Structure 1
Amino acid sequence: MKTSADPVRDYLCAVEREAGVLSADRRQELLADLAEHIDVTRAERPDAAIGDVLAELGDPRTIAASALAEAGNGAAGTSPRDGGGTPARRGKVHPLIPLLLLALSLPFMMVFPDLPGPLFGVLFRVTGAVLLCTSVHWSAVHKTTGVVLTAVLPTAVIATWNLSSGGPAGDTPAFLANLTMFTLLAATTAWLWRMRRP
């Protein structure tokens, strides 16, 4: 089997082939978004192997299937070529929404320590985790890492801190723990934002 010297071109051609039933405009938009994401990732991580960068994006077939589902083609089985125009996009939540919910859960609990602060903080965290897990913008590895670092770990640390009778006394340790958790949330959501795919 003949291999190309340009794996990025091969990858984008594979996505274009798999997404052939999309309208030409939507297909070109998808390819441009992928190419831009690849360029940005390569600029930010020049030592990363191109194969690793492409693997992080996901299988071309999966990306095409997600784009088709967003355009309404996957579920309805219709194509813009059938004469109906471009179907409405369904089931898509902007990638910023789960990240904001996850990032703001802890500050909301800190600003409003009495109810409803903790209740809404937990609600933000759970809703953000669910939206992150059901989003088409991240791979399974990114979703798992994001949920562990923004929902599971902070919840475990806060529960351990609150249930522990031997925790450090005073406001300074609590402030430092909250600051550490907030930094972790902010760093993880920033990383997820950078790693999102179109």
Structure 2
Amino acid sequence: MKPSPDPVHDYLSAVGREASALPADRRQELLADLAEHIEVTRAERPDAAIAEVLAELGDPRTIAATALAEAGHGAAGDPTHSGAHASTGAAGAGAPARRGKVHPLVPLLMLTLSLPFVMVFADHPGPLIGVLFRITGVVLLCTSVHWTAVQKTTGVLLAAVLPTAVIVTANLSSAGPAAGTPALLANLATLALMVGTAAWLWRVRRV
């Protein structure tokens, strides 16, 4: 059989057919989110074959079944669907497609840079800026389409919740953030944890 000149169009058409039971607006959101995901992936990996990109998204029938289940139509579909299926299914259920437009590096930088502001500008607006960076990073990470729910939860715990708990505990036990070596070592160890978590999230961002 002669290969299709536009496999992306064929793929989206197949999803649309399988998800025909969805309301028209939700079906269009699902297709728009899938198209955006494909566009972002191809831009970040120009050497990847389009067949590989589509294979990573998954079978159109599975994606449609997931979207239908989340919208209250039909069965739950394949429970082993990937993070890409979950994110696209959520978009089909009414999540804004524009969430995927934030580059995955942005939340990682926000989370990682939150601690240096506190360390360098401890007596100035640094702590407030650090808190704002951390909250913004968590929000962007949790609303991104580039990670699964498990990866997001792990990232938030390791790059936001645990660092905050360690720093607060170390500073309180050392009588303040300027108490010397113990607090500094705690901050440096926490920074290493946050950098390592950001690097891990970057590596697995398309899984």
Amino acid at match of 2:194: L
Task: For CA contacts below 8 A with separation 6 or more, give which structure has more relative contact order.
Answer: 1
* Identity among equivalent pairs (%): 59
Per-residue CA deviation, residues 95-152 of structure 1 (Å, 9 max, x unaligned), is 1111110010001111211221000101111111111111111111111110111111
Among 127, 131, 148, the residue aligned to 2:136: 127
Amino acid at match of 1:140: A
* Matching residue of 2:82: 57
Does 2:137 match 1:142? no
Q: How many residues align?
A: 149
Counterpart in 2 of 1:108?
Answer: 117
SS at match of 1:90: helix
| Residue identity opposite 1:58 in structure 2 | G
TM-score, normalising length from structure 1?
0.60
Aligned amino acid, residue 116 of structure 2: P
Partners of 1:102 and 1:124 within 8 A in 2: yes
Q: Secondary structure at the match of 2:206?
A: coil
Instruction: Determine the C-alpha separation between the residues in 2 that align with 1:90 and 1:106.
Output: 28
Which ranges of 4 or more aligned residues in structure 1 deviate by more than 4 Å? 16-19, 27-31, 34-37, 73-76
CA distance in 2, matches of 1:153, 1:98: 17
**Cα shift readout 1:137-179 (whole Å, capped 9, x = no counterpart):** 1111111110111111111111112222579x96332222121
Contact 1:19 1:64 (C-alpha < 8 Å) held by counterparts? no
5+ residue gaps, structure 2, are 1-10, 17-30, 42-50, 58-79
Shift of 1:186: 0.3
Structure 1 contact 101–124 (Cα < 8 Å) conserved: yes
Q: How does 1:77-88 map to 2 (within 5 A)?
A: none
Counterpart CA distance in 1 for 2:186 and 2:38 is 47
CA distance in 1 between partners of 2:185 and 2:105 (Å): 27
Bigger mean CA offset, 121-130 vs 28-37: 28-37
